[in-house]
Amino acid sequence: MALTPVLLLACAEKTFNSLLARDPAAPTRLRRLAGKRLLLRLERPSLALLVTFHTQGLGLLHAPQAEETDADAVVEADCEALGSLLAGESLEQLMFSGRLSLRGQTHLLEATRELLMDLDLDWEAALAEWFGDVPAHSLAEGLRRFARFGLRSQHELRTDLAEYVFEEARLLPGQAQREVLRDHLTELEVATDRLEARLARLQRKLDARRREPMT
Amino acid sequence: MTKRTTHFGYQEVPVEEKAARVADVFHSVASRYDLMNDLMSLGIHRLWKRLTLERAGVRRGQSVLDIAGGTGDLTLKFSQLVGPSGRVVLADINASMLNVGRDKLLDHGVGGNVEYVQANAECLPFADNTFDCITIAFGLRNVTDKDAALASMARVLKPGGRLLVLEFSKPPHQLLSKVYDEYSFRLLPKMGELVANDADSYRYLAESIRMHPDQETLKGMMEQAGLERVEYTNLTGGIVALHRGIKL
C-alpha cells in the first residue's frame, strides 16, 4: 500500500517528462526553471508535493515534511482551484477570491503553468522513432489529412443539420424567429402589466364609490 | 588456530575472503546491473528507491552519502534535491560499479555537486558528523561486518541526520515466502544466465538475501549502532524493507 502513491507520482512524472521531451520549446523553458522548486500543498486531498525542475524535465516528490524555506514558491490550494488554474483561469482572480494562496517567487507558478499547458508536441518525431522518417512523415500527413477531413465534415454536418431542422422541416425556430418571438412576449408581458395596473385602479375607484354615503 | 569465517551466500568463507568474492560478483554483473534489476523486480526497484528518496527528506544545501550507490540511481535524484550548494558522495567498494555509476551520471549531465569515493562501508573515510543523510540501498547484505558498517555510518552522520537502509528482507506471509523462494532459486539464476551470462552471481544474490537479518533483527542492529527512533516499512509484502534511524 505504501507504494501506491509512489507509483502514481512516478507515472505522473514519467508522463510529464515524456510530453516535455516531445515539445521543441520545452528545453528553453526548462533551462530558465532549472534548479527551482515549487511546493504545492493541496487541501483536499491533503497532499504536499515538491516539484523540482531540471534541464531534462521535472521531478515530483511527496514531501509532507518539506519546509517553506526549501522551496522558491509555496502554493496552497484545493483541487478545484488547481483545476481552474490549469484550465486557464487568471492567477490574480484565484488569489483575490481566496481560493489559492501563493508565497515566494510568484512568477514561478505562471512559468510552470506555461510549461505544462502550452505544450506543442512534435508527434511526427515520436512516430519517426518507431517507423523511420519517411513512413512517419507519410503516416503523420495521413493523420493530419484525416483530422482536417474530420473537422470539415463535422462543420458541414452541423450546418446541414441546422438547415434541415430550422429551415426545411421547421422542427425548431431559427435564431431570428426566436428573437422576434421573444420581443413579442416581452411586449405582451408589458401590456399585461399595464392592464393589471388599470384594473387595479378601476377596482380602487369602485371600492371608493361604494364607501361614499348615499345622498 | 581456526580461521574466523562468515557467510558468502550459503557458503562459509574466511572473513578476509568475503569482500574479494563479493567484488568478483559485482565486477561480473556491473555492465548489466540496471537491466537485471529491472528484469528481476519487474521495475519495482525504482519505486522502492523513490520511497527511500521521499523518506530521506533531503533539503537544499545538505550533504548526502549514498553507500553502495552502484549505478547511481539515488545519487542522481539526490544531486537534484540538494542543488549546487549541496554535496552528494557516491561511495562503493567496487570500482566497476563506481565506474558504471560515474559514466551514467556524467551522461545525465550531473557533475558539480557529486563526488565519487571507493570505500568500504565498515571503515568510511570521512570525519565524524559529516553527512545529513546516509542511504545504503541493496548493499548492506554484501558487507562482511554489518555491525561495524552501521557503527561507521552512525559515526559520520551529523546529529539529527538520518540513515536509511533499503534491503531485501523476509516476507512475513508464508505463501508469499514460498512463491518468492521458488522465484529466487529457480527463475532468478536462469534469468542471470540468459541476460548476464552469469547464473552463479544471481544464485549468490538469492542466497545472500536469505542470510540477511530479518526486519526486527536489523532494527535491533541499528539501535545497537547508536541510532534512535528506528522504524521500518515493509514493501511489496516484506520482500524488501526500508529501515530508517536518526542520530540524536
Quote the ipTM score: 0.74
Residue A160 has a pLDDT of 93
Is B11 touching A (CB cutoff 8 A)?
no
Cβ of B60 within 8 Å of Cβ of A37? The answer is yes
Domain containing B168: what range? Answer: 5-173+202-246
pLDDT band at A89 (very low <50, low <70, confident <90, very high): confident
Residue B44's Cβ-count burial label (10 Å; 0-12, 13-18, 19+) is: middle
For residue range A150-183, list pLDDT tens digits in order: 999 999 999 999 889 888 888 888 888 889 999 9
Residue B199's Cβ-count burial label (10 Å; 0-12, 13-18, 19+) is: middle
pLDDT band at B202 (very low <50, low <70, confident <90, very high): confident
Q: How many domains does chain B have?
A: 1
Closest residue on chain B to A68 (Cα): B59
**Cell matching residue B142:** 554484501
Measure CB to CB from residue A2 to each of B44, B57, B233 and give the nearest one: B233
For residue range B53-112, list pLDDT tens digits in order: 999 989 989 999 999 887 788 999 999 899 889 999 999 988 888 888 899 899 888 888
Range with top average pLDDT, A28-32, B19-23, B96-100, B115-119: B115-119
Residue B29 has a pLDDT of 65
Indicate whether B14 belongs to any domain.
Answer: yes
Put residue B114 in one of left, alpha, beta given phi > 0 → left and psi -120 to 50 → alpha.
beta
With a pLDDT cut of 70, the percent of chain B lying above it is 90
Residue A188 has pLDDT above 90, yes or no: yes
Is B186 touching A (CB cutoff 8 A)?
no
Indicate whether B182 belongs to any domain.
Answer: no
Chain A residues touching residue B53 (CB < 8 angstroms): 61
Residue B183 has pLDDT above 90, yes or no: no
Residue A159 has a pLDDT of 92
Residue A92 has a pLDDT of 85
Higher-pLDDT residue of B233, B26: B233
DSSP, res B104: H
Cα–Cα distance, A110 to B174 (Å, whole number): 52
Cα–Cα distance, B102 to B98 (Å, whole number): 6
Q: Which residues in chain A (43-72) have CB-CB distances under 8 A to chain B?
A: 52, 54-56, 59, 61-63, 65-67, 70
Q: Within 13 A of B55's CA, how many CA atoms are on the CB side? A: 26
Residue A215 has pLDDT above 60, yes or no: no
Residue B1 has pLDDT above 90, yes or no: no
Cβ of A59 within 8 Å of Cβ of B109? The answer is no
Element at B3 (helix H, strand E) = none
Is B47 touching A (CB cutoff 8 A)?
yes
Is B109 touching A (CB cutoff 8 A)?
yes
Cβ of A2 within 8 Å of Cβ of B51? The answer is yes
Indicate whether B79 belongs to any domain.
Answer: yes
Q: Which residues in chain A (87-116) have CB-CB distances under 8 A to chain B?
A: none
Amino acid, res. A116: L
Cβ of B109 within 8 Å of Cβ of A55? The answer is yes
Residue A138 has a pLDDT of 87
Is B229 touching A (CB cutoff 8 A)?
no
Indicate whether B188 belongs to any domain.
Answer: no
Nearest to A11 by CA among B37, B47, B38, B81: B47
Range with top average pLDDT, B12-21, B36-45, B70-79, B159-168: B159-168
Indicate whether B27 belongs to any domain.
Answer: yes
Residue B179 has a pLDDT of 87
Cβ of A10 within 8 Å of Cβ of B51? The answer is no
pLDDT band at B241 (very low <50, low <70, confident <90, very high): very high
Residue A68 has a pLDDT of 81
Higher-pLDDT residue of B118, B28: B118
Question: What 3-state DSSP class applies to B72?
Answer: coil
Residue B2 has a pLDDT of 59
With a pLDDT cut of 90, the percent of chain A lying above it is 29
Average pLDDT over chain B reads: 86
For residue range A64-83, list pLDDT tens digits in order: 878 888 889 999 988 888 88
Residue B55 has a pLDDT of 92
For residue range A12-70, list pLDDT tens digits in order: 999 989 888 888 888 888 888 888 999 999 887 788 899 999 888 899 988 887 888 88
Chain B residues touching residue A6 (CB < 8 angstroms): 47, 50-51, 54
Is B84 touching A (CB cutoff 8 A)?
yes
Indicate whether B193 belongs to any domain.
Answer: no
Give which of A17, A30, A54 to mutate to test B binding, by max B Cβ within 10 Å. A54
Higher-pLDDT residue of A194, A77: A194
| Residues pairing with B12 in the sheet | B7
Chain A residues touching residue B81 (CB < 8 angstroms): 52, 61
Closest residue on chain B to A62 (Cα): B54
Measure CB to CB from residue A3 to each of B51, B77, B84 and give the nearest one: B51
Q: Using a cut of 0.80, tell me whether the model's pTM lies above it.
A: no
Higher-pLDDT residue of B36, B135: B135
Residue A200 has pLDDT above 70, yes or no: yes
